[in-house]
Structure 1
Amino acid sequence: MGRPVAVTQGDPAGIGPEITHAAWRALKDGGPVFFVIGDPSLYGGTAREIKAAAEASRVFADALPVLSSPLAVPAVPGRPDARNAPSTISSIERAVGLTVAGDACGVVTNPIAKSVLREAGFGHPGHTEFVADLTADLPVDSARGPVMMLAGPSLRVALVSIHKPLRDAIASLTADRIAHVVRVTFEALKRDFGIDAPRLALAGLNPHAGEGGHIGREEIEIITPAADALRADGFDIAGPLPPDAMFHAEARAGYDAAICLYHDQGLIPLKALDFWNGVNVTLGLPIVRTSPDHGTAFDIAGTGVARADSLIAAIRLAAEMGRRRGV
């Protein structure tokens, strides 16, 4: 049996605790095995505190394994408290540390509330950048990220820009950035997804991919030159393609991942195709990191209606990626 997956606590006032418990119920009989780093009080009577990650496999069928990360104050569903931010941050740091040490095969991060963490002095834009910084000194046997990919059963999209206002995403678009994302994505598809000869599709920015410069010149001046240079280097990449015509079933059959130029260009089709089972994957790291593709959902926390589908998919994908990396 491989090493277990390390799951972080996330914001304790969000849906993280209840979907973690639901994921354990769904996976306890067949795996993959995981443990959570959090306050044991969040997970009810089925939680069992463990002292080391290696104990997770022994107890997993009977109890949710928990490495304790105590809260400062009791968590109230739907009411985040910055006093508990140190526990949330520590959970991430410990999960990364255990994975780097080889005690876990990968990290799955439950949702955090960035505004709450910032109140406690957290200086990173989000999980992706924090995990990248925590592993920045480690060697990577491929092109270094971080690059954000969203992966679902029907579509994978990698993003050239992530959480930027649209005008800033367009202004920051460069051929070098496109090439970097393509290279990281290409190597990750081979190493982590088992695709020997990845096929990529590059989205255009403007309607009709610019229509020869009549509806914007970014395709002519930036995107097409980037794609041509990548093709000359041997990458199998189509495009730039009209964004409104590259996500139907027949088009998706022609590529293994789409390279999208801004956040919603990739996430809208992914969530339209399979809202519940999308997984956020950080490519180009020395460790495996995935997460559910949703937020803390404070508005429904504690009501029992939160679905664990995306977290379950993230745990399964992390375990699969870990196996492919031999950890």
Structure 2
Amino acid sequence: MTSSLPLAITMGDASGIGPEIIAKMLARSGERAIVYGSHAVMTDIVRRLGLDLSIRSVAGPQAETPKAGCIDVIEAGRVVEPPPLGQISAVSGQAAFDAIVAAIAAAKAGEVSGIVTAPIHKEALSRAGITYPGHTEILADYGGVERVAMMLANDEIRTVLVTIHTSLRTAIEQADFAAQMSAMRLAHEGGIALGIAAPRIAVAGLNPHAGEGGLFGDEEIRIIAPAIEAARAEGIDASGPWPGDTVFMQARQGRFDVVVAQYHDQGLIPVKYLGLEKGVNITLGLPFVRTSPDHGTAFDIAGRGIADAASMETALAYAHRLVAARATSLRT
């Protein structure tokens, strides 16, 4: 069962491929969705692609009756004309941020069923004077929650990160007992939301060979193993710490449902290696559903009509799946 409310789709960086993959996705699917972004940018990309679509400005998610072949856009920024494609731009950074904030407000108000975000560019945000390092931190702050986690998923593996957008040195400092517990709890909840009744969660070690009994570092002994025991006491099926270089292979073979990775690249490299077109980013811990394609703005191909919308379509499908699961859980 799907929600009667539309999904919000944020346009992402207007200088990247976000508008293109949104337009292609909606042209193929006929999806009823609301794009938070710029009428001018969406009109320009539809013209460039030669798509048989019209762009309509609307005041709110329910302001107009859905119309076939029409993309409804809520003007969420101050983009008067499309910025140059393939270039880092403060205008695009600000517009992307404004769209995210507006979509979050709509989700919190119950006006949309969830959010699917197109890629943003961190340097463009910075040029606009926005200090958030990425989507996840914006979503947590404006979503009004203290703890969130990234789940990266495809057809073969799922991973949840203990630490996200920070330096490796800082990640080691942040991967404390509380962060381990939060990641395992959210991994458990995320697995259930995806239809896994009792998720089997593998926790990766921080150090090579999971510390090799303290020879290569003692974080596994001091922090990670005690957190796993505490999580198990809460009824979470967690195990480890497992060596990071083999745990994803075991998950791919079906031994585990979710892998908790200690830092960004430890978790994202295995997922992205299996194919960007299959991956989706899910933010756990929010009061609403949020998904995103697992790739960036691809400035090098922006506006050329060759961007693949497959990951965006996967993100949309996951959003519908999670919205339906959330609605079911609220009824029970």
Q: Same fold (TM over 0.5)?
A: yes
Contact 1:202 1:241 survives alignment (8 Å):
yes
Give 1:140's aligned residue: none
- Determine if the alignment matches structure 1 residue 35 to structure 2 residue 34: yes
Q: Alpha-carbon deviations, 1:71-117, whole Å to 9, x = none?
A: 13432211233134443222112211222222211111111122222
- Which of 100, 105, 124 is the aligned partner of 2:108? 100
Q: TM-score, normalised by structure 1?
A: 0.89
Query: What's the counterpart of residue 301 of structure 2?
Result: 300
Q: Hey, what's the Cα distance between the residues in 2 that align with 1:250 and 1:171?
A: 27
Partner-residue secondary structure (3-state), 2:115: strand
- The one of 168, 171, 178 equivalent to 1:169 is 171
Match of 2:185 among 164, 172, 183: 183
The 3 A distance-change label for structure 1 pair 209 and 56 is: farther
What corresponds to 1:127 in structure 2? 135
Equivalent-residue separation in structure 1 for 2:40 and 2:207 (angstroms): 50
Give the SS at the match of 2:216. Answer: coil
Structure 2 equivalent of residue 22 of structure 1:
24
1:279–1:291: 8 Å Cα contact kept in structure 2? Answer: yes
Q: Which amino acid aligns with 1:224?
A: A
- SS for the counterpart of 1:306 is coil
SS in 2 for 1:58: coil
Moved more, 269-278 or 72-81: 72-81
Give matches, 1:100-119, under 5 Å: 100-119=108-127
Q: 1:58 aligns with which of 66, 72, 90?
A: 66
Q: 1:53 aligns to what SS in structure 2?
A: coil
Give the match's secondary structure for 1:276.
Answer: helix
Matches of 1:95 and 1:123, distance apart in 2: 19
1:31-86, Cα deviation, whole Å (9 max, x unpaired): 4x322112223232513214232367722x42222223451343221123313444
Residues 140-162 of structure 1: CA distance to partner in whole angstroms, max 9, x if unpaired?
xxxx6311111111111000111
2:162 maps to which residue?
160
Report the equivalent of 1:68: 75
**Contact 1:34-1:56 within 8 A present in 2 as well:** no
Structure 1 CA distance for aligned equivalents of residues 36 and 268 of structure 2: 29
Give 5+ residue unaligned stretches, structure 2. Answer: 48-52
Identity of aligned residues (%): 41
Partner of 1:223: 224
Give the residue type in structure 1 aligned to 2:293. P
Q: How many pairs does the alignment contain? A: 316
Q: CA deviation at 1:193?
A: 1.4
Tell me the distance in 2 between the aligned counterparts of 1:289 and 1:57. 24
* Partner SS, residue 286 of structure 2: coil
What is the TM-score normalised by the length of structure 2?
0.88
Is 1:283 aligned to residue 284 of structure 2?
yes
Tell me the equivalent position of 1:193: 194
Question: 1:263 and 1:303, CA in 2 relative to 1: closer, same or farther beyond 3 A?
Answer: same
Which among 33, 36, 55 is matched to residue 48 of structure 1?
Answer: 55
Contact 1:9–1:36 (8 Å) recurs in 2 = yes
Give yes or no for contact 2:40–2:81 (8 Å, CA) kept in 1. no
Alpha carbon RMSD of aligned pairs, Å? 2.1
In 1, Cα distance between the equivalents of 2:214 and 2:89? 51
- Where do 5+ consecutive residues of structure 1 fail to align? 138-143
**Residue 253 (str. 1) matches residue 254 (str. 2):** yes
Amino acid at match of 2:226: P
Give the Cα–Cα distance (whole angstroms) in 1 for the partners of residues 251 and 202 of structure 2: 13
The answer to whether the 8 Å contact 2:88/2:123 transfers is no
**Is residue 4–residue 57 contact of structure 1 (8 Å, CA) maintained in 2?**
no
